[in-house]
Chain A
Amino acid sequence: MDIPYTVQPRRDTGLYNAKLGIWLFLASEVMLFGALFSSYILLRVGADPGEWPQRLLNVPIGTVNTLVLITSSVTVVLGWAALKQKNFAKYRKLQTITVLCALTFVGIKSYEYADKFKHYQVITKDGKVYDGHLVKQDNEVVVLEGGLIDASKGKAHGVMVAQREAELHGGHHPEVEIKRSEIQKIGNYGPGHNTYMSIYFTLTGLHALHVIGGALVIAYILWPGAGMYKTDPERYINRVEVSGLFWHFVDLVWIFLFPVLYLL
């Protein structure tokens, strides 16, 4: 006996096995990201007043990335439709755009990550807080492109946002030199900076892994695995459909991530 319904749908469920499988898998993914979004809410609600950074991230860059992913969602479904109409060339063109979009997204995301890892905060022993991009550091001094910010509670992040906006509009900051001996604490805006950065890196990092994984699968089906289109076209189209379903989910997660992390 062979396993039934690997390609043709079962009559009473209307699904072939893999399609049901991917929907079930996506249900578990919803729970995974749901738990992380819930954690975001709990951490944010529990933060001290004024401590939760808002608009720390670069909104235009995020918007571009959102558009990139939405484009890929459109091409993925058009590609599948083209394949259904037996137009393999068109499918290949469209899916190539999908993969390129995925690469663009990951590239932009890496730029954003790198920016955060170069962004430092220095607290001196007399309680001053400096904030800015690291120019250089050695055993003697730390040089930041940025400046002193008012660290009194509640104001800190307002000042930071103002600085951020100035930066976006092309404003340049003077370089400040801080002696090592005066520094009490130094750290970048990595995951350990505060709970906002922690959840930002966890959510976007996990999402980026999904983007990479999805792109790898789509690319595999598109190029090395394309031989199946000749030998078993129905099964091949099913594969494209299933990978497309996953891709839509990955896009959908970003549609939630963008407002939650960039705008709110």
Chain B
Amino acid sequence: MQTSTAHSHAHAHGADAHAHHDEGGFLRKYVFSSDHKVIGIQYGITALFFLFFGFCLVMTMRWQIAYPGRPVPIVGPLLNAAFGASGGVLSPDLYNMFGAMHGTIMVFLAIVPLAFGAFGNLVVPLQIGAPDMAFPRVNMVSYQAFAAGGIVMMVSFFIPGGAAQAGWTSYSPLATSVPTLGQTFWLVGMVLLITSSLLGAVNFIATIIQLRAPGMTWMRLPFFVWAQFVTGFLLLLAFPPLEAAGVMQLADNVLGTSFFLPTGLAIGGKLANISGGGSPLLWQHLFWFLGHPEVYVLILPAMGIVSEVIANNTRKPLWGYKSLVYSVLSIGFISFIVWAHHMYLTGMGTKISTFFQTTTMIISIPSVIILTCLFISLWGGSIRFNTPMLFALAFLPMFGIGGLTGLPLGFNYSDIHLHDTYYVIAHFHYVVAPGTIFGLFAGIYFWYPKITGRFMNETLGKTHFWLSLICMNLVFQPMFLQGMAGMLRRMSDGGAMYSTAKAAPGSIGGLSDWILGLNENISHAAWFLAVAQLPFIFNFFWSISYGKKVSSDNPWDATTLDWQTPTPPPHGNFLETPQVVRGPYDYSLPGASKDFVPQNQNA
């Protein structure tokens, strides 16, 4: 621990140093730890579990879409036992429940905790040269609130009537009309998750502002830190309105208020016993006021990871660092004034639609700038095609497809046709699945050696990458066609009842057999995508003990401070306070002895 170079001592003493500072038993060290790295790993493991669980939900749904009314193989008996399904069939009610929880789990329990909670916690303090987060105990509470929220969500599956069924957007009055307790659990879970995010956001912003190492000026921050900084502000300011909305919907469900329930609401053919006078539109406004910035919460950390991986593996500085920073800041601001583009079809008025359509087009500009900067960064680089880099490279076109197909949804006239169809599903899954999740995979393969001291296996990694890339496209590409053909989302039979409509003479609309037939292809691809994750899962655990050992603390020859620590970083991270003397991406500096110059070293 007393050595002055970050190198030599690390392997021998990293673990000792940790034990030395963090005395106490297993619980104190791994469960109730306030060390940012342990919390980051807790977030990561929990989020990966939820990612897999959310995927399982949708795999079951894909069976029902492809083969409506047929018993689900493998998990059918489980459905019977746990949810009272009959004959192993996923009933429409269960389909709604799985759909609502798939969205909720993927967004709030998988991607956000992985992108923000796990990578943010692990990497941000290291990259800015800080010993820990600004408020370590708040950080611990933040994870515990997240875990509690996750438990409430999971428990809700097993209460009578099951989990929430009103979609991840929980539109009122539907959310209040479903006569089960699922929605109440959902709201309680959400309040916990929001609390967790708020605490995390305060902590991240304070850490980045206050704990930057000497010399780490704003324009020397790695782009990943900028991305997390803006993400922090989005969470801080966009989540409270949903918390307010959640409290109000909870009151609607439990106290009999009518915040979101209109006068004269009839449920099941009977006039509801409520005072009325509420506004269903109000819920949508409050929900999407969070919901849209949330989209950027999902994508910005992934962009940050991809930037780090690309700079490292092209051995070049990022092209247009300042443009990247200003773009990400612009995205942060503009993302607060685009929310109602989710609501063109609510009848809120054409003038308002025009406003939101304009802001929506404006926000695509900084996104395109970021993507362009990353593409140009590849130019003339001597690219190392390792697994993290493959994922990062695939992120660029995949996110590009996701982003560009969003434009027709942002125009209110073309949205009239595409709204609520599979086109929407395809669009945002391209952004989040082969976009964000690929970015996160890149991050996992990239920072794994820093945390464990071993590389993940490259062959398995590349198998994982190529199979995932192919399957992701086979899953989501056909959905664009289905959506454009008019196939609506949220239908438990995958549009089968539409096919009867086309049989009527002279009828227009209806779905052709070819469009319906795609359902089967998509489902097969989705299940094969699950198979493609097996190499990753195996690799993830196997490499902890058997992966190739790193030969130095900086195995990727990276410039940022996270690689200038012992491996794994001890409690307190750095052996001495780093003095930052240069920008974050001094690769291939002319005249330097190596092709990289770390931020805290002179050339």
**Interface residue B151 (Cβ < 8 Å from any Cβ of A):** no
Can you report 29 residue pairs joining A to B where beta carbons are below 8 Å apart? A1-B576, A2-B572, A3-B136, A5-B134, A5-B210, A5-B211, A10-B210, A13-B210, A21-B135, A24-B202, A24-B205, A24-B236, A27-B237, A28-B198, A28-B201, A28-B239, A31-B237, A31-B238, A31-B240, A35-B240, A39-B245, A42-B279, A42-B285, A43-B259, A43-B282, A192-B257, A195-B278, A201-B251, A202-B251
**B258 pairs with A195, CB closer than 8 A:** yes
> Nearest chain A CB to B411's CB is how many angstroms away?
26
A35-57 Cβ-contact flags toward B at 8 Å (1 or 0): 11001001100111001000000
Whole-angstrom CA separation of A33 from B257 in the bound complex: 19
Whole-angstrom CA separation of A199 from B203 in the bound complex: 31
Closest 5 CB pairs of A and B: A192-B256, A35-B241, A1-B131, A32-B240, A198-B257
> Nearest chain B CB to A50's CB is how many angstroms away?
12
**B209 pairs with A20, CB closer than 8 A:** yes
CB closest residue in chain A, given B197: A28
Given contacts A28-B240, A36-B244, A202-B247, contact A195 B210 (CB under 8 A): no
Contact partner, B259, options A27, A48, A198, Cβ 8 Å: A198
**B237 pairs with A28, CB closer than 8 A:** yes
**Interface residue B179 (Cβ < 8 Å from any Cβ of A):** no
**A35 pairs with B289, CB closer than 8 A:** yes
- Interface positions, chain A 177-202, Cβ under 8 Å from B, are 190-195, 197-199, 201-202
CB-CB < 8 A to A2: which residues of B? Answer: 131, 572
CB closest residue in chain B, given A17: B134
**Interface residue B248 (Cβ < 8 Å from any Cβ of A):** yes
Whole-angstrom CA separation of A34 from B242 in the bound complex: 11
**A190 pairs with B255, CB closer than 8 A:** yes
Whole-angstrom CA separation of A10 from B202 in the bound complex: 17
**A192 pairs with B244, CB closer than 8 A:** no
**A48 pairs with B277, CB closer than 8 A:** yes
**B211 pairs with A21, CB closer than 8 A:** no
**Interface residue A29 (Cβ < 8 Å from any Cβ of B):** yes
**A39 pairs with B282, CB closer than 8 A:** yes
Q: How many residues from A make CB contacts under 8 Å with B?
A: 42
**Interface residue A25 (Cβ < 8 Å from any Cβ of B):** yes
**B577 pairs with A3, CB closer than 8 A:** no
**B236 pairs with A32, CB closer than 8 A:** no
Whole-angstrom CA separation of A202 from B243 in the bound complex: 12
**Interface residue A206 (Cβ < 8 Å from any Cβ of B):** yes
Interface of B is mostly: helix
Whole-angstrom CA separation of A190 from B205 in the bound complex: 40
Whole-angstrom CA separation of A197 from B239 in the bound complex: 25
Given contacts A28-B236, A32-B243, contact A15 B210 (CB under 8 A): yes
**B209 pairs with A51, CB closer than 8 A:** no
Whole-angstrom CA separation of A49 from B582 in the bound complex: 65
**A29 pairs with B240, CB closer than 8 A:** yes
**Interface residue B308 (Cβ < 8 Å from any Cβ of A):** no
Given contacts A10-B210, A195-B275, contact A35 B245 (CB under 8 A): yes
**Interface residue A4 (Cβ < 8 Å from any Cβ of B):** yes
CB-CB < 8 A to A27: which residues of B? Answer: 236-237
CB-CB < 8 A to A13: which residues of B? Answer: 209-210
Whole-angstrom CA separation of A81 from B577 in the bound complex: 35
CB-CB < 8 A to A4: which residues of B? Answer: 131, 210-211
Whole-angstrom CA separation of A213 from B136 in the bound complex: 21
Known: A1-B574, A3-B130, A31-B236. 6 other contacts (CB 8 A): A21-B203, A32-B243, A34-B241, A39-B248, A198-B255, A202-B251
**B134 pairs with A21, CB closer than 8 A:** yes
CB-CB < 8 A to A197: which residues of B? Answer: 257
> Nearest chain B CB to A205's CB is how many angstroms away?
9
Whole-angstrom CA separation of A4 from B289 in the bound complex: 36
CB-CB < 8 A to B245: which residues of A? Answer: 35, 39
**A191 pairs with B205, CB closer than 8 A:** no
**A39 pairs with B244, CB closer than 8 A:** yes
Whole-angstrom CA separation of A139 from B135 in the bound complex: 58
> Nearest chain A CB to B212's CB is how many angstroms away?
9
Whole-angstrom CA separation of A33 from B289 in the bound complex: 14
Contact partner, B277, options A25, A35, A47, Cβ 8 Å: A47
Given contacts A5-B211, A32-B244, A35-B286, contact A192 B131 (CB under 8 A): no
CB-CB < 8 A to B135: which residues of A? Answer: 17-18, 21
CB closest residue in chain B, given A42: B282
**Interface residue B294 (Cβ < 8 Å from any Cβ of A):** no
